[in-house]
Amino acid sequence: MKNSLFFTLVILTGLSLAAAEPQKPNVIVIMADDLGYGDLSCYGTESFETPYIDQLATEGVRFTSGYCSASTCTPTRWSFLTGTYAFREKNTGIAAPSSPLRVNHEITCIGDMFKTAGYSTAIIGKWHLGLGGEDGPDWNGELKPGPLEIGFDTCFLLPTTNDRVPQVYVKDHHVLNLDPSDPIWVGSKAPSPEHPTGINQRETLKMDWTHGHNATIHNGISRIGFYTGGHKARFRDEDLADKWVEQSLEFMEENKDGPFFLFFASHDLHVPRIPHERFQGKTDLGYRADVIVQLDWCVGEIMKGLDDLGLAENTMIVFCSDNGPVMDDGYADEALEKLGDHKAGGVFTGGKYSVYEGGTRTPFITRWKGTIEPGVSDEMVCTIDLYSSFASLTGTAVEEDAARDSIDVMGALLGKEGAKGRSELVQQDNGSRGNFGFRQGDWKLQVHAQGKARNVVVEKLLETTAVPKIQLFNLADDPVEKNDLAESNAKKAEEMKARLDKIIADGRSR
């Protein structure tokens, strides 16, 4: 009798402990594209309103020193997935249309980490990290290796970036809705002199190009690269945001019993900026601002989806951007002409392609209703740190050779009092010019190996500016990086340059 009672108590106690054990939180990372520090109303713009992202900030932590790790998309996304600075590996610059997978699928990535923690995982939206093996993607066959080989259970992708061909969706390992009798061909040269391009049929374009983007025409817009076929599989630019939301809500519904990890990789506000018709003209600043409003709607739909599923209090959301702003990035969409007084980079100098603060300091918001105490934080955090931070959150070990530069800043992301963010951060451009920014506390070192900086003035056309090879700024006194202190504080500049060189040479900083 005693033994029976004892075992009953053990079973009941075990059941009680199991019931009391909290479920691991769902995690959603929403990454905008080319969104500047000053592009949201919660970050100070009065040019238009972004009410849903503002709500996210009001209910969470808005960071004033939130960064991406590079000022272009492919290296930032690579670093986010791997937890390692992209300059450490070859071929992490902007991916060409037929690039093979840029992520070594044999290393442990953030998706693998979440799967180890028991999560269902998905990436929905822009990929731009290549697909396939050494020969590149087989558009008419299996597109692998890809996201499913680096820890994602499912993916629904824009395979490159929408100014590059082809304009098709990829679902897991295949082009969606592809008709085998109309195969896709992708190449770097026009298949024939009659192939429609932005040069030979420029008068037919609904959005003209300004530089570069003048090859194959699709949906009245010429792109980078050439392709033919796949007509049933092709999408309409205006529908991308709706498709990302639709697929994300489906994934959330299917995995509502959780836990799940969703990487919502928006294409907004990358060129070509073609918002859905219901968002066209929503602002006075043209399509660039209209797609910011569209992005804001996407965030609102994700938040509503969580509310409808009763998951808002068990889901941590991180909102960030892959790099800073750019105005004319290859299309005549009136981004400059209608800019007015709007400052896309806020007070900061530079933007996309630049290691000035405007290139990598971007909006960064965390929300977890009921867990994160709302507020504003000056702690330094970066997209590269999400790997180690989420590993800490889920109680998952980070392998020794993984996430070589990812720092656990979960305390800061949760807004915990006294929690610290990063003490130092390396910033890079596309990685091919030897340009680095290195922030250490309030000090910021800039290294331009060739004495040239790109896109320093975002409000002008893309340009290259002659600059000293070494510059030093104190961001507390000089956030716009105008007062170079490299000569007057030569010892500090030398110390920081030596530290930067060591971080690069060591192959890791974690």
119-123 mean pLDDT? 98
pLDDT exceeds cutoff 70 at 8: no
CATH of the domain at 453: 3.30.1120.10
pTM metric for this prediction: 0.94
CATH of the domain at 407: 3.40.720.10
Residue 332 lies in a domain: yes
Q: Which of 12-16, 69-73, 120-124, 345-349 has the lowest mean pLDDT?
A: 12-16
| Helix, strand, coil percentages, rounded to 5, for the chain | 25, 20, 50
Band of the pLDDT at 12, cuts 50, 70, 90? very low
pLDDT of residue 463: 80
Domain count for the chain, please give it.
Answer: 2
pLDDT of residue 437: 97
pLDDT digits (tens, 9 = 90+) for 268-284: 999 999 999 999 999 99
> Which residue, 374, 394, 419, sits at the end of a domain?
419
Residue 408 lies in a domain: yes
Q: Which of 4-8, 27-31, 39-43, 356-360 has the lowest mean pLDDT?
A: 4-8
The answer on 261 and 116 residing in a single domain is yes
Torsion sign (Cα): 67, 73, 79, 85: negative
SS3 239: helix
Beta strands across the sheet bearing 375-382: 174-175, 170-171, 154-158, 120-126, 260-265, 26-32, 315-321, 365-367, 61-67, 375-382
156-184 mean pLDDT? 97
pLDDT of residue 7: 43
Q: Would you give the DSSP letter of residue 354?
A: -
Average pLDDT, the chain: 94
Torsion sign (Cα): 171, 177, 180, 186: negative
The answer on 42 and 79 residing in a single domain is yes
pLDDT of residue 16: 41
The answer on 435 and 415 residing in a single domain is no
Spatial distance between the Cα atoms of 291 and 276, rounded to a whole number of angstroms = 8
Query: Which domain range does residue 488 map to?
Result: 425-506
Residue 6 lies in a domain: no
Residue 14 lies in a domain: no
pLDDT digits (tens, 9 = 90+) for 348-390: 999 999 999 999 999 999 999 999 999 999 999 999 999 999 9
The answer on 165 and 33 residing in a single domain is yes
The answer on 230 and 203 residing in a single domain is yes
The answer on 300 and 203 residing in a single domain is yes
Spatial distance between the Cα atoms of 181 and 302, rounded to a whole number of angstroms = 37
Spatial distance between the Cα atoms of 191 and 437, rounded to a whole number of angstroms = 42
19-44 mean pLDDT? 90
490-502 mean pLDDT? 98
pLDDT exceeds cutoff 90 at 466: yes
Q: Would you give the DSSP letter of residue 453?
A: E
pLDDT digits (tens, 9 = 90+) for 290-302: 999 999 999 999 9
Please answer whether residues 103 and 129 qualify as being in contact, where contact means their C-beta atoms are separated by less than 8 angstroms: yes
pLDDT digits (tens, 9 = 90+) for 47-60: 999 999 999 999 99
Residue 255 lies in a domain: yes
pLDDT of residue 29: 98
Please answer whether residues 74 and 128 qualify as being in contact, where contact means their C-beta atoms are separated by less than 8 angstroms: yes
pLDDT of residue 9: 41
pLDDT exceeds cutoff 50 at 99: yes
Spatial distance between the Cα atoms of 52 and 481, rounded to a whole number of angstroms = 32
pLDDT digits (tens, 9 = 90+) for 288-335: 999 999 999 999 999 999 999 999 999 999 999 999 999 999 999 999
> Which residue, 374, 402, 419, sits at the end of a domain?
419
Residue 28 lies in a domain: yes
Spatial distance between the Cα atoms of 149 and 146, rounded to a whole number of angstroms = 5
Higher pLDDT, 415 or 23: 415
Q: What is the DSSP string of 49-67?
A: --HHHHHHHHTSEEEEEEE
Q: How far is CA 46 from CA 35, 320, 495, in A?
A: 16, 20, 41
> Which residue, 364, 385, 419, sits at the end of a domain?
419
Band of the pLDDT at 21, cuts 50, 70, 90? low
The answer on 240 and 175 residing in a single domain is yes
Residue 16 lies in a domain: no
247-254 mean pLDDT? 98
443-467 mean pLDDT? 89
The answer on 195 and 87 residing in a single domain is yes
pLDDT exceeds cutoff 70 at 170: yes
The answer on 451 and 413 residing in a single domain is no
pLDDT exceeds cutoff 60 at 484: yes
Here the tokens at position 66 are 């939130």
List alpha helices for 309-376, DSSP H. Answer: 357-360
The answer on 451 and 309 residing in a single domain is no
Residue 254 lies in a domain: yes
pLDDT of residue 431: 77
Look at residues 3, 88, 5, 35 and name the one whose alpha carbon lies nearest to residue 364.
35
The answer on 93 and 37 residing in a single domain is yes
The answer on 429 and 409 residing in a single domain is no
**C-alpha dihedral, 103 to 105 to 108 to 110, nearest 10°:** 60
pLDDT of residue 464: 87
Residues of the chain with pLDDT > 70, as a percent, come to 95
Band of the pLDDT at 22, cuts 50, 70, 90? low
